[in-house]
């Protein structure tokens, strides 16, 4: 396979491919779209789910020290008062006095990117939380917020999880789900949107072990991206300077990906100290601490938090996987996605639409469906169908031809090498399952 493509218009190519093949559609498109929101189509929903499943597998399933939760999206203002979000979760907003566009002051260089005017207002703090009302009365008492991060759901459930699971530090609580931020300038496709998905884990540790675990999680998380196919030269860790740290953090490093517009964040890994548990304890009046029966010691754990964006990471996987190459004198587009991420792992393709091949092809499909996510495609020439599968990253095509009726064998074609091997139908599910195993 060739290296990742370095096209100046790579983002446009991914946006077009996403729309054309059903990964990501602009939301409310029939009404002209809606403010940089996106809908995930039949292939996008599979890819995004695979990204989240790969994260969950590595962060929860393959460990005995991390458990999951799924907390409410709609939440009490008291959470956001305690966490500091009501006071601090702001971006500096400026207005252009000439064209009346609004911008994030820290993302522009003194002039309006729309009209070029330098006549901008003084920056003012703009809170990014979406505010709504819970119940039929719209007043101060019913104000609620859509969560701007999943993290607080883990902190407010700390005691619930501790007592129900009998875990002891070091242990973690993981969560995957939607978060909402009223971003001033959503941009770069699904890189920055107002509605997005996060994959976050709060790892509670004895305070004197915080630094060790911080470095442990930096390594673990870098490994996860590399293992799933992000090239090493497109991935780096960037440690935050002291003046860049969030209000809760003692140390933060970002996992950054080399996007077409430059290095940018995929994930933040932070040592949040005991800030959150102490803040929630103070505001709620509840004790949020760990009592070690054996030593009689009582303490508030420190928290190491790897916080990744699922939708943003999905975009990085698409960008990193995009290739154009030539096979048999024909140009093709390929998504060289890891088979664990590919929307379809197998496509079953009857060589012709001919009725005689379809029943056997359906039999093969039935054998493969329990071991892999399959597509079944009978339209167009076989060459075109291979191209269509390459373009969406399907690692294996299984072709049923007229010989299959005689020898009960099929052709398995590999996406990256285009190599084809003949496999007996009785063994095809086992063969594919083996080749899909990491
Ligand atoms: N709990 C800590 C926290 O939320 P963050 O750095 O603000 O930290 C974590 O967010 C990750 O969530 C980011 O690294 C990014 O991948 C993703 N993310 C944040 N805001 C986003 C947005 N507006 N659109 C898409 N993804 C976003």
Contact 391, 334 (CB under 8 A): yes
Residue ranges around ligand 1 (CB below 6 Å)? 149, 151, 181, 183, 192-193, 196, 198, 200, 265-268, 305, 307-309, 311-312
Q: How far apart are CA 180 and CA 151, in angstroms?
A: 13
Looking at ligand 1, which atom is closest to the CA of residue 310?
16
Q: How far apart are CA 360 and CA 304, in angstroms?
A: 53
Cβ atoms within 10 Å, residue 29: 12
Cβ atoms within 10 Å, residue 124: 11
The predicted model scores a pTM of 0.96
Give, for ligand 1, the residue of 148, 196, 310 to mutate: max count of ligand atoms closer than 8 Å to Cβ.
196
Q: Does the pLDDT value for residue 413 go beyond 70?
A: yes
Residue 411 tokens read as 């052709």
42-73: pLDDT as tens digits:
999 999 999 999 999 999 999 999 999 999 99
User: In this structure, what are the phi and psi dihedrals at residue 121, rounded to the nearest 5 degrees?
Assistant: -70, 165
pLDDT at residue number 1: 52
Beta-sheet pairing, 195-205 with 171-180? antiparallel
Q: Is 78 helix (H, G, I), strand (E, B) or coil?
A: helix
Give, for ligand 1, the residue of 80, 312, 313, 315 to mutate: max count of ligand atoms closer than 8 Å to Cβ.
312
pLDDT at residue number 10: 96
Give, for ligand 1, the residue of 40, 107, 149, 217 to mutate: max count of ligand atoms closer than 8 Å to Cβ.
149
**% of the chain beyond a pLDDT of 70:** 99
Residue 73 tokens read as 């999206």
Q: How far apart are CA 216 and CA 125, in angstroms?
A: 35
Q: Average pLDDT in the 393-414 region?
A: 97
Q: Average pLDDT in the 258-274 region?
A: 97
Contact 401, 412 (CB under 8 A): no
Looking at ligand 1, which atom is closest to the CA of residue 192?
24
Between the CA of 76 and the centroid of ligand 1 the distance, in Å, is: 21
């Amino acid at each position: 396979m060739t290296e990742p493509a370095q096209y100046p218009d790579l983002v446009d190519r991914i946006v077009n491919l996403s729309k054309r093949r059903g990964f990501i559609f602009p939301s409310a498109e029939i009404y002209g779209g809606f403010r940089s929101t996106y809908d995930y189509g039949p292939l996008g929903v599979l890819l995004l789910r695979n990204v989240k499943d790969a994260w969950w597998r590595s962060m929860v399933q393959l460990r005995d020290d991390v458990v999951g939760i799924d907390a409410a999206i709609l939440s009490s203002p008291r959470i956001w008062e305690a966490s500091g979000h009501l006071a601090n979760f702001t971006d500096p907003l400026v207005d252009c006095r000439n064209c009346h566009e609004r911008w994030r002051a820290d993302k522009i260089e003194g002039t309006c990117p729309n009209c070029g005017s330098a006549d901008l207002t003084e920056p003012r703090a703009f809170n990014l939380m979406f505010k709504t009302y819970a119940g039929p009365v719209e007043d101060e008492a019913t104000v609620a917020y859509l969560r701007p991060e999943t993290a607080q759901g883990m902190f407010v459930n700390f005691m619930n999880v501790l007592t129900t699971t009998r875990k002891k530090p070091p242990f973690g609580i993981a969560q995957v789900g939607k978060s909402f931020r009223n971003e001033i300038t959503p941009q770069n496709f699904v890189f920055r949107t107002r509605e997005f998905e996060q994959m976050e884990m709060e790892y509670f540790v004895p305070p004197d072990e915080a630094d060790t675990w911080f470095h442990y999680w930096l390594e673990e998380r870098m490994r996860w991206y590399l293992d799933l196919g992000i090239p090493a030269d497109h991935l780096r860790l960037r440690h935050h300077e002291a003046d860049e740290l969030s209000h809760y953090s003692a140390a933060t490093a970002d996992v950054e990906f080399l996007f077409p517009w430059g290095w940018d964040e995929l994930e933040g890994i932070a040592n949040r100290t005991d800030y959150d548990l102490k803040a929630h304890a103070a505001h709620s009046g509840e004790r949020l601490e760990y009592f070690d029966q054996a030593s009689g010691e009582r303490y508030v754990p420190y928290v190491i938090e790897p916080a990744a964006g699922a939708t943003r990471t999905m975009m990085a996987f698409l960008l990193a996987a995009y290739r154009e190459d030539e096979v048999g004198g024909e140009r093709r587009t390929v998504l060289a996605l890891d088979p664990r991420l590919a929307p379809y792992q197998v496509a079953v393709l009857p060589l012709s639409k001919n009725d005689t091949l379809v029943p056997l092809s359906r039999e093969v499909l039935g054998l493969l469906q329990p071991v892999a996510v399959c597509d079944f495609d009978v339209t167009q020439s076989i060459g075109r169908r291979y191209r269509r599968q390459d373009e969406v990253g399907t690692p294996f095509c299984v072709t049923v031809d007229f010989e299959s009726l005689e020898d009960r064998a099929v052709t398995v074609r590999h996406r990256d090498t285009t190599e084809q091997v003949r496999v007996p139908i009785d063994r095809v599910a086992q063969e594919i399952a083996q080749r899909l195993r990491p």
